[in-house]
Chains A and B, each alone.
Chain A
Amino acid sequence: MERNPLRRQLQLMRKSLFDQGYLDEQFVQLEELQDDTNPNFVEEVVTLYYRDSARLVLNIEQALERKPYNFHKLDAYMHQFKGSSSSIGAKKVKAESTLFREYCKSGNGEGCMRCFQQLKKEYATLRKKLEAYFQVARQAGPMETACRPK
């Protein structure tokens, strides 16, 4: 157990993110790529993700305003979005993306709409939690190694 209170807080925040299912193994993979030469790598990737995926979210939003829905296009956007989300270990966001794609494949417009609202919530929640996490991380300084959640 960490003696340093900031590091302890960081560990607890991290554990909670995994325990509550916000993050999966891929996040750990990213942490393992972080080192002294690039101590903020994970934060950089996550920042890049939110910047890059904002465009996709907007595209999907706009596509959902045009009826009848172009499910092929919606699915294509979501495929990209899911890929990026998967690359940062965004577990809940990824799950909603998968569900959305299933609704697209079955041509269920209402399902897509509902699912997308939920997805946006998860996406925003994760962002807030990660921002808070990285803020503490920066204050706490580098941790020894990534601890496996299980």
Chain B
Amino acid sequence: MEVAGEVLQSGSSQELHVLAVDDSYVDRKVIEKLLKISSCKVTAVESGARALQFLGLDGGKGSLGFNGLKVNLIMTDYSMPGMTGYELLKKIKRSSTFREIPVVIMSSENILTRIDSCLEEGAEEFLVKPVKLSDVKRLTKDCVTRGETEGKDGGRVDKRKLEDDNHTSSSSSIPSSPSTTTSFGCGLATSELPLSPMHSSKRAKLRDRD
């Protein structure tokens, strides 16, 4: 597992470091717990501005936050006062330093145009709240897998947008060749990755919740 360790660069352990952004105190507490149970290090902040500050995108040090840990995943609420999760997403994806960090949007509102905008701006996934443990476990597992594959291949397929096919087609028709998209935008297609269910999960999630 040295490969994963090198790629993730999260100190001596191979734990993912997740930056969680949510203006709700209750939701921060819950997401923090969900992530800790999924063996992640968590930094929870209450706003997009604080998130950018932590990342150093407001003129600071870079993706090594205050404690020197690289951020491997960002999970942000959509509706926040000041800067929305969407605006935060855009800023991250337009930064050459941070655009590769997967950003997941969480929202209590299941609005198709909102989801599409987020996915188009490069969000890895859009989760409908309340977020479940199974969602978090899956996300963080994929993040680790992505890290391992990057290590092996010595690089990744860089893509910002999901193919239109993946938006409109039904889950079963998504091909699994390495060059097509996956939820984590790096073209990795290890056989363990359930590509179809992941894509369908984006849409299916919207239907499952009330």
Q: Is A38 at the interface (CB under 8 A from chain B)?
A: yes
* Complex contact B129–A44 (CB within 8 A): no
Contact A45 B29 (CB under 8 A): yes
Q: Mark B6-33, 1 if CB is under 8 A from A, else 0.
A: 0000000000000000011111011001
**Set of chain A residues within 8 Å of B108, measured between Cβ atoms:** 79, 82-83, 86
> Interface digits, A39-55 against B, CB 8 Å rule (1 contact, 0 not)?
00100110011001000
CB pair A79–B33 under 8 Å, yes or no, is no
A30 to B29: give the CA distance in the assembly, Å: 11
Is residue A102 within 8 Å, beta carbon to beta carbon, of the partner chain?
no
Q: Which residues of B contact A88 (CB under 8 A)?
A: 26
B129 touches A45 (CB 8 A): no
For A41, A48, A83, A84, which residue has the most chain B Cβ atoms within 10 angstroms? Answer: A83
Interface residues on B, range: 10 to 19
Q: At the interface, yes or no: A11 with Cβ under 8 Å from chain B?
A: no
Instruction: State which residues 96-152 of B face A: CB under 8 Å.
Output: 108, 129-130, 132-133
Number of residue pairs spanning A and B whose beta carbons lie under 8 angstroms apart? 47
- State whether the Cβ of A16 lies closer than 8 Å to any Cβ in chain B: no
Task: Give CA–CA (A38, B108) in the complex, Å.
Answer: 26
Within 8 Å by CB of A30, from B24, B25, B30, B79, lies: B30
Residue of B nearest to A80 (CB): B24
- The 8 A CB mask of A2-42 against B (1 = contact, 0 = none) is 00000000000000000000000010011011010010010
* Residue with the highest number of chain A CB atoms closer than 10 Å, among B24, B27, B34, B132: B24
Query: Can you list 26 pairs linking A and B with CB atoms under 8 Å apart?
Result: A26-B130, A29-B130, A29-B133, A30-B30, A33-B30, A33-B34, A33-B37, A38-B33, A45-B26, A45-B29, A45-B30, A48-B26, A52-B24, A52-B25, A52-B26, A79-B108, A80-B23, A83-B108, A83-B129, A84-B26, A86-B129, A86-B130, A87-B24, A87-B26, A87-B27, A87-B30
